[in-house]
Amino acid sequence: MKKLHIGLVLLILTVPILCQAKIPAHKFLLASLTGQVFTEDGKALPGGVVSFFNTKKGIPPLVANMHRVPDMVGKMRTDGKFVIRLQPGTYYMGALVITDPGRGPGPPRPGEIFYYARSTSGTLRELTLEAKEIKDVGQIIVATPENFPAAKSLVTIKGRLLLEDGKPFVGGVVLVKTDMNKVRPDFVSARTGEDGKFSLKLPAETPYYLLGRERAVGRPVPGAFIGTYGSSSSISEGGLLPVGNAGPGQPAGMPQVEGAEIGPSKDWPASISGKAGETLSGFDITMFKLPVPEEQREKFQGTLGLGLRGQFDENSENTQAPEVKQDK
């Protein structure tokens, strides 16, 4: 009986510790930020989302026609007010007015306006939060990117997304990374039009890697089109290295696609950089279709089966190879 009592006491003391262990430590450090977003003429923004960019995680998000992937987003009400919980740190803040409430995530779409919080001196405003702090910043004045001084110190990079046959790739986006080892891109472009052209305005004096994608968010899936500037060969020939840390035969970050034959890489991603006010042109990205497992399997069976696919099919009752007669 004494041993049973000791066991119960130990169990009671252990349960709270186990329960607490399931909660990540950073959850206890979150700060709360409240405010209301206004344009420079004193009008409250009519709803959408607010975005926050940690100043230590990369270059400022202030670009003319690009969108940096935020560290945290929150809902902005129709009166411009918001409440959001953030990890301790210093942030730039953006606000996007959404025209279609039912739309999915992604960069601003045509007709949608993106703003950045502006300080009294006209530069990007920085918001600093301590652990567990509850802060109400009141009115936050925002302005469009072209109204900031830094917007005049950009490099312009122009190019096209093209299919293998040289035709324009319509509706694609360009993901921009300053480090190929990053999982998330630093910037996302607007979608390409009928001509497949893109024009990127980015902070100068920084090397950039350009990745063509069919969609702005999520991992590439079988059948999707992807491309990387500097790679002119398809995935089956060892091209399309979307992130760094990749050697021949091991393109890091690529989806594991059955039937995809990865050969030695001969095309490595190339970086691009330029000076403030400079325009760089001619940076075309070839878009290749990621292999679809079923298509690869059929191609493989059709090639090696010499037209006898059905006799080797997994679902077929006939699993034996046909007898081959030899001439005497």
- Residue 323 forms part of a structural domain: no
The pLDDT, as a whole number, for residue 26 is 57
CA gap 17, 179 in Å, rounded: 40
The pLDDT, as a whole number, for residue 117 is 95
- Residue 4 forms part of a structural domain: no
Pairing mode, strands 154-162 and 285-286:
parallel
Which residue, 127, 150, 173, sits at the end of a domain? Answer: 150
In this predicted model, what pLDDT tens digit does every residue of 92-112 receive, in sequence order?
999 999 878 777 666 677 788
Pairing mode, strands 197-203 and 187-189:
unpaired
How far, in whole angstroms, is CA 287 from its chain's centroid? 17
pLDDT tier, 145 (very low <50, low <70, confident <90, very high otherwise)? confident
Which residue, 150, 169, 186, sits at the end of a domain? Answer: 150
Q: Provide the CATH number for the domain around residue 200.
A: 2.60.40.10
In this predicted model, what pLDDT tens digit does every residue of 127-141 receive, in sequence order?
999 999 999 999 999
User: Are residues 138 and 264 both part of a single domain?
Assistant: no
The pLDDT, as a whole number, for residue 9 is 42
CA gap 268, 270 in Å, rounded: 6
Question: Any idea of the CA torsion for 246, 247, 248, 254, to the nearest 10 degrees?
Answer: -10
- Residue 50 forms part of a structural domain: yes
Question: Is the torsion defined by CA of 275, 276, 279, 284 positive or negative?
Answer: positive
Q: Which of 172, 239, 179, 184 is nearest to 209 (CA)?
A: 179
Q: Mean pLDDT throughout 104-127? A: 85
pLDDT tier, 213 (very low <50, low <70, confident <90, very high otherwise)? very high
The pLDDT, as a whole number, for residue 92 is 94
Q: Mean pLDDT throughout 75-80? A: 94
User: Are residues 130 and 168 both part of a single domain?
Assistant: no
Residue 38 has pLDDT above 80, yes or no: yes
- Residue 133 forms part of a structural domain: yes
Residue 196 has pLDDT above 60, yes or no: yes
- Residue 325 forms part of a structural domain: no
In this predicted model, what pLDDT tens digit does every residue of 152-182 receive, in sequence order?
788 999 999 999 999 999 999 999 999 888 8
The pLDDT, as a whole number, for residue 94 is 93
Q: 13: burial class by Cβ within 10 Å (0-12, 13-18, 19+)?
A: exposed
Residues pairing with 17 in the sheet: none
In this predicted model, what pLDDT tens digit does every residue of 242-281 receive, in sequence order?
443 333 333 333 344 333 444 444 567 889 999 988 999 9
- Residue 251 forms part of a structural domain: yes
CA gap 183, 244 in Å, rounded: 10
pLDDT tier, 293 (very low <50, low <70, confident <90, very high otherwise)? confident
Q: Mean pLDDT throughout 217-241? A: 76
Q: Which of 20, 32, 25 is nearest to 132 (CA)?
A: 32
- DSSP 3-state of 142: strand
The tokens 């059955």 sit on which residue? 258
Residue 67 has pLDDT above 90, yes or no: no
Residue 63 has pLDDT above 90, yes or no: no
Give the domain range for residue 110. Answer: 27-150
Q: How many domains does the chain have?
A: 2
CA gap 54, 76 in Å, rounded: 19
User: Are residues 157 and 146 both part of a single domain?
Assistant: no
CA gap 44, 74 in Å, rounded: 17
